[in-house]
Amino acid sequence: MLLSNRAAIITGGARGIGKGIALKFAEEGCSIVIADLIVNEAAKTVEEISKKGKKAFFIKCDVSDSRQVQNLIDQVIKKIGKVDILVNNAAIAQVPGSITFVSEEEWDRVLAINLKGTFLCCKAVVPYMKEMRYGKIINISSTGAIDPPAQAVSYSAAKAGVLGLTLDLALELAPFNICVNAILPGGIRTELWKSNIPPGVNEEDFFANAAEMRPMKRMGTPEDVAGAALFLASDLSGFVTGDRIIVGGGVPLRQKYESVRK
C-alpha cells in the first residue's frame, strides 16, 4: 500500500472532495483525521472508514480560527504522534454575483476559510514536519484560479492566493524534504458545486450542460481528485514540489477545444 503507516489531516473531509480523498488514503493504509464543522456527515465518514478496518478520527475545527487550528494539530500529535500529510481542502463557495453586489462581509468570509485557513493549517503543521524532515502538503485550489468564471471574484481570488502560498512554501520547505503542491479541481460534482445552480434551474439539466462544456464531456467526481491527491501524498512524488495538477477534464483547454470544433 502506498500510504502504509502514514497519518493525514484532511480539512473539509466530511463530504465531497475531502471525503473522496479520505477514503482513498485509508484504502492505502493511511490513518485519517477529518477536520470539519459538519459534525453528522464527518461522523458518518469516520464510521465508513472504521468499518473497513482503518483508523479514522474526527476533530471539529474552524480552519479560519488559529486557536482551533492549533488545537487540531495538538490533538493529532497526541493521538497519533505525527502528521505526515496535510490536505487543505476546506472551502466555501461565493454566492454568484457581480463584484458590485459582493459585500465586504462575504469577501472576508470566503478569504478567511479558503485562503487564511490554508495558511493557518500550514503554519501550525510545518514545525512538526520540519522536525521529522518529511511531509506532504496538498493544497486544494481550483481551475477558477487560472480560468475564472465570471461573477465569482472572492472565490477565484482566494483560490489564486492558494497557488501563490503553495509556491512560496514549496521553496521554503524543500530543504526539509517537505513537498508542497496544489490540485486544481474543475467541474467536480459536489455539494459545493450545487451552490452554482441558479434559482429555478433543474439540477440534472444544470450538470448536463456543465458536462457538455468540458472536452471530456462529463463532470468530475471526488474519486478523480483523490487519485491525484494519492500521487502527491505518496513517495511516488518524492521529487515533486511547487507544482500543480489540474483535474478538470480539459477545462483550461476549453477555448482551444471550441475553436477546433468550429
Alpha carbon distance 37, 61 (integer Å): 6
C-alpha distances (whole Å) from 253 to each of 147, 186, 210, 242 are 10, 12, 15, 22
Instruction: Cell numbers for 205, please give them.
Output: 439539466
Give the Cβ contact number of residue 232 at 10 Å: 24
Return the ∠ at Cα 57 (arms to 54 and 63), rounded to 5°: 135
Element of type H or E holding 35 = strand 31-36
Instruction: Tell me which of 128, 134, 155, 257 is the catalytic residue.
Output: 155
User: Is 155 one of the annotated active-site residues of the chain?
Assistant: yes
Q: In terms of Cα–Cα distance, which of 159, 16, 154 is closest to 94?
A: 154
C-alpha distances (whole Å) from 141 to each of 44, 78, 148, 217, 257 are 26, 29, 12, 22, 23
DSSP class of residue 137 equals E
Residues tagged active-site: 155
